[in-house]
Amino acid sequence: MFAVSPSNHLYLQKDLESSRRRFFSVSGARSKFRVRKARDSRCRSLFGGNGSSGLVISCLKRTVEAASPSKKRDGNESKISSSFSGGIEVRAMIKVRKKMKEKLTEKIDDQWEYFINGIGQGILIRLISEEIDPETNSARSIESSVKGWLPKPVNGVHVLDYAANFTVPRDFGSLGAVLITNLHAKEFYLVEVVVHGLDVDPIYFPANTWIHSRNDNSDSRIIFKNHAYLPSQTPPGLQDLRSKDLSSIRGNGRGERKPFDRIYDYDVYNDLGNPDKSKDFARPVLGVENRPYPRRCRTGRPPSASDPLTERRIEKPHPVYVPRDETFEEIKQNTFSAGRLKALVHNLVPSIAATLSKSDISFKCFSEIDKLYIDGVVLNDENHQENSQKLFLSNIMKQVVNAGQTLLKYEIPAVIKSDRFSWLRDNEFARQTLAGVNPVNIECLREFPIRSKLDPNVYGPPESAITKELIEKELYNGMSLEQAIEEKRLFVLDYHDILLPFIKKINALPGRKVYASRTVFFYSQTGILRPIAIELTLPPTPYSKTNKHVYTHGHDATTHWIWKLAKAHVCSVDAGIHQLVNHWLRTHASMEPYIIATHRQLSSMHPIYKLLHPHMRYTLEINALARQNLINGGGIIEASFLGGKYSMELSSAAYKNMWRFDMEALPADLIRRGMAVEDPAMPNGVRLVIEDYPYAADGLLIWSAIKEWVESYVEHFYSEPNSITNDVELQAWWSEIKNKGHPEKRNEPWWPILSTKEDLSGILTTMIWVASGQHAAINFGQYPFGSYVPNRPTLMRKLIPQEGDPDYENFISNPQRSFLSSLPTKLQATKVMAVQDTLSTHSPDEEYLGQVNQIHSHWIDDRRVLGLFTKFSSRLEEIEEIINSRNKDARLKNRSGAGVPPYELLLPTSGPGVTGRGIPNSISI
């Protein structure tokens, strides 16, 4: 009845949009609507019952009837169909996801979309054959339009099924792709296309993508079926489409990106500062020769007015561009990251600041810290009620709106939940270097004396002030230093060289005092690691070439309190390095170029793209949010961690001096740090120096499972000789990662060569490990370990008082208050706790390692690959059981014992919220 010739699509679409605007115009719309309501009551039952949406449909239907000569168009459709008489009747089911929560205007728009789709004017779909038509020398194709009225939801209330019918010639060949054209004025989310009626039934075309409006981009979207093809295996009919799709994703490198764009390109970190706001918010560009850095996704925004090298900022709450399909899905936006992170930054943190900033003072006693968990913080911000409704808080932070106030209450963190005073003990301080939130910096001490690699003309004598005599006093049974080194019983946490060049600048900032630290540990024969010496260093002064202080635990009261202060300084340094280097740089920032290159150089039908796709989810979006709100000039990291305005410069220095791709593999990193030795008889070829090293022991299980899965996958697709070197997309991908993703390091000799299956498997295993296990191990313990301020202060505000200093007498008279006054203030601590809660929380739609979300269940049609993945999933279930049994083993004192929290950060699965466990597939927070 409403069939329309394809030649009239654009004309009718404009006519319909014009009718729609007239129908919904504000002026006089209400009185006209009442007249229509009485006149059209007889139509409601057919088009939507008694609700307003049914009335909308009936009115729109009549509007189009008046404007559309349907009989002539019916004749055109019959003519087209008759040309394929004797063909195969095929139906394509198009699954479209709708919003879970819609405003009234959006619901009305939906009714309009249903109507337009129903008359065949909303979505065009073209089936593309894998065969070439010899007459046209191009792929065979056939087009139809989606038709149908008010589709019923399937697979949940928010997914709608539309249909398009085809009569396909019998010589059409195998179906390889579909082209989707969106004639609506706005985008829609395509879940998948399923084609029924051909010899292979059904054929799946997984999409999970936003389909842009033709008004924004005239090109149709290309969706390939779920079969993996190497470039050389691409069927003739798909070769041009494969190239065209990759070309559209790369873009031309010019212009500002629009929200509907799906373009991936590289840029430097020139968007952290805001010199237009103030010179205090100007920040240097990262990603230049003297400040190298991995590349981020290009947005193309114009330069700031004050500095042509700095990109103009997009400030909250406006979004930073990421390619359209990288944005958070609605469930994550509404229930977690976008909603909670934005609410945190826009509402919670300002409310905390409004409440506490006028009296931003130190904690005066430990009971004041305890009150954060017992009594909570009453937020007196005048917008508290509105803000409270915007906050999406997990069970860690509980809010109660009562008598015009918001109560923000924190849950007791795991580190003190069973033993409130565990943080005071030396063995707990040491245990967290092996089983805490930052277990990746401890090294075996292999040479003595400890030496700096910094320029002695600038930074003083390279030798550490920790002497042989001092260490031997702390060893058992007269053991010599040489014997302890030989038996691998001495370990060091060394932040001297990475921090000393920044100390003078940082200490000039208000409320910041930091040392370059070294901590030496002894591992006893009873399996206990304990700190025996801490060296805290300041830059040389004109009066002294060395400014190094060495502390030991001691037994008298004064030495005991100074030792606590020294440990607190080490913890603050460790927290800063953890956040800026190990967490942000080595996982978030380093993954971004891999993701960009994967989209730019590997077709979505490439088997390696399919392998990596789950491990790229949400990362670009969370990184963009971090650049906007967390690591930016004046952001939460600068305000709350030791580096202040020099935080990202410190991260860049770490990248320059420390980061290398080949050392991001877990076994290689453990060997580099001396925490493992090569042993061919052991799994993964390494043997741990400290058997009771929970991060490494559990991490090697996860690494091994990933490695086995990747090797079997690569073997399946690259069975032919030279298939790696002949894969043009794969070689371009690896070249681009090095040359465009990490250009300042492109000539380093340590980059793996990509020529064999073993090379590829090693590269992919490292990437997947970084995105999954490594990130999980150093991210989801932030609240459990870091939210008790004395255990892990993120900054220190005072140096350790020395005899003769003005503060020394205050320290002697009240060491507890002196200690607490050195920690972050109440405002700083409360803000950090809020941030750590958010960063430690799993979203309800989290996708965990070894699991496939239902919407991605048709990701590949290869039964052999699906069997290999099932084996991988089963292995992860076994690993979970192994880790649980280890946590009950009384011999493993770093993960069990009185008050010791079990080590669960590398347990593969988790529920939503702050659980201290679970390995997501990707860096999604």
Which pLDDT score, from 0 to 100, does residue 154 have?
57
Q: What is the mean pLDDT of residues 453-465?
A: 95
Compute the mean pLDDT over every residue in the chain, rounded to the nearest whole number.
86
Concerning whether 671 is annotated as a catalytic residue, the answer is no
Q: Does residue 413 register a pLDDT over 90?
A: yes
- Residue that wins the pLDDT comparison between 834 and 531: 531
- Residue that wins the pLDDT comparison between 806 and 248: 248
Which pLDDT score, from 0 to 100, does residue 478 have?
86
The C-alpha atoms of residue 579 and residue 777 are separated, in whole angstroms, by 13
- Residue that wins the pLDDT comparison between 691 and 5: 691
153 pLDDT band, cuts 50/70/90, is low
- Cis previous bond, 449, omega within 30: yes
Query: In the sheet where 138-145 sits, what is the strand order?
Result: 138-145, 123-133, 175-182, 221-224
Residues ≥6 apart with Cβ < 8 Å to 500: 452, 454, 459, 516, 537, 539
Q: What is the mean pLDDT of residues 140-160?
A: 76
Per DSSP, 122 falls in state S
Three-state secondary-structure class, residue 482: helix
- Which member of 9, 227, 384, 588 is catalytic? 588
Concerning whether 384 is annotated as a catalytic residue, the answer is no
| Lowest model confidence (mean pLDDT) among 374-388, 433-447, 666-680 | 374-388
Contact 2, 119 (CB under 8 A): yes
Instruction: From 173, 195, 227, give the residue that closes a domain.
Output: 227
Q: Does the residue 52 lie in any domain?
A: no
Q: Provide the residue type at 583 as one letter.
A: H
Q: Does the residue 553 lie in any domain?
A: yes
- Which member of 623, 629, 779, 887 is catalytic? 779
The C-alpha atoms of residue 439 and residue 568 are separated, in whole angstroms, by 17
High-pLDDT (> 70) share of the chain, %: 83
Angle (nearest 5°) at CA 906 between 902 and 907: 75
Q: Does residue 355 register a pLDDT over 90?
A: no
Q: What is the mean pLDDT of residues 453-460?
A: 94
- Which member of 768, 775, 791, 855 is catalytic? 775
Q: Does the residue 148 lie in any domain?
A: yes
High-pLDDT (> 90) share of the chain, %: 70
Return the CA Rg of the chain: 31
Q: What is the separation, in whole angstroms, between the first and last Cα of the chain?
A: 50
> What does the CA dihedral 27, 31, 34, 36 come to, rounded to 10 degrees?
-70
The C-alpha atoms of residue 316 and residue 626 are separated, in whole angstroms, by 11
Which CATH number covers residue 450? 3.10.450.60
Which pLDDT score, from 0 to 100, does residue 108 have?
77
The C-alpha atoms of residue 239 and residue 552 are separated, in whole angstroms, by 69
- Residue that wins the pLDDT comparison between 592 and 546: 592
The C-alpha atoms of residue 644 and residue 247 are separated, in whole angstroms, by 41
Length of the chain: 925
The C-alpha atoms of residue 371 and residue 410 are separated, in whole angstroms, by 9
Which pLDDT score, from 0 to 100, does residue 274 have?
95
Which pLDDT score, from 0 to 100, does residue 358 have?
59
Q: Does the residue 462 lie in any domain?
A: yes
Which pLDDT score, from 0 to 100, does residue 222 have?
98
Which pLDDT score, from 0 to 100, does residue 345 have?
52
Which pLDDT score, from 0 to 100, does residue 150 have?
53
Angle (nearest 5°) at CA 71 between 67 and 73: 80
338 pLDDT band, cuts 50/70/90, is very low
- Residue that wins the pLDDT comparison between 12 and 309: 309
Structure token digits, residue 437? 């939130």
Q: Does residue 608 register a pLDDT over 60?
A: yes
**pLDDT tens digits along 834-861:** 889 889 989 888 999 999 988 888 999 9
Residue 486 CB neighbour total at 10 angstroms: 11
- Which member of 212, 583, 599, 606 is catalytic? 583
Burial class (CB in 10 A: 0-12, 13-18, 19+), 49: exposed
**pLDDT tens digits along 698-750:** 999 999 999 999 999 999 999 999 999 999 999 999 999 999 999 999 999 99
Which pLDDT score, from 0 to 100, does residue 744 have?
98
**pLDDT tens digits along 41-98:** 333 332 333 334 444 444 444 444 433 333 333 332 322 333 345 689 999 999 998 8
Q: Does residue 443 register a pLDDT over 80?
A: yes
Contact 214, 181 (CB under 8 A): yes
Q: Does residue 378 register a pLDDT over 90?
A: no
Structure token digits, residue 188? 């829609």
Instruction: From 227, 252, 286, give the residue that closes a domain.
Output: 227
Which pLDDT score, from 0 to 100, does residue 379 have?
67
Which pLDDT score, from 0 to 100, does residue 120 have?
86
Which CATH number covers residue 120? 2.60.60.20
Which pLDDT score, from 0 to 100, does residue 356 have?
64
Q: How many domains does the chain have?
A: 2
**pLDDT tens digits along 86-99:** 689 999 999 998 87
Among 75-89, 103-117, 611-625, top mean pLDDT goes to 611-625
- Residue that wins the pLDDT comparison between 348 and 766: 766
pTM of the model: 0.89
Concerning whether 775 is annotated as a catalytic residue, the answer is yes
The C-alpha atoms of residue 502 and residue 537 are separated, in whole angstroms, by 12
Q: Does the residue 752 lie in any domain?
A: no
- Residue that wins the pLDDT comparison between 27 and 295: 295
| Lowest model confidence (mean pLDDT) among 291-305, 407-421, 781-795 | 407-421
Query: In the sheet where 377-379 sits, what is the strand order?
Result: 377-379, 405-410, 397-402
- Residue that wins the pLDDT comparison between 680 and 406: 680
Three-state secondary-structure class, residue 208: strand
Q: What is the mean pLDDT of residues 866-886?
A: 98
The C-alpha atoms of residue 569 and residue 574 are separated, in whole angstroms, by 9
- Which member of 57, 595, 923, 925 is catalytic? 925
Instruction: From 193, 227, 261, give the residue that closes a domain.
Output: 227
Concerning whether 779 is annotated as a catalytic residue, the answer is yes
755 pLDDT band, cuts 50/70/90, is very high
157 pLDDT band, cuts 50/70/90, is low
Domain range for residue 545?
441-579+792-823
**pLDDT tens digits along 199-217:** 778 999 999 999 999 999 9
Contact 268, 631 (CB under 8 A): no
Which pLDDT score, from 0 to 100, does residue 406 have?
58
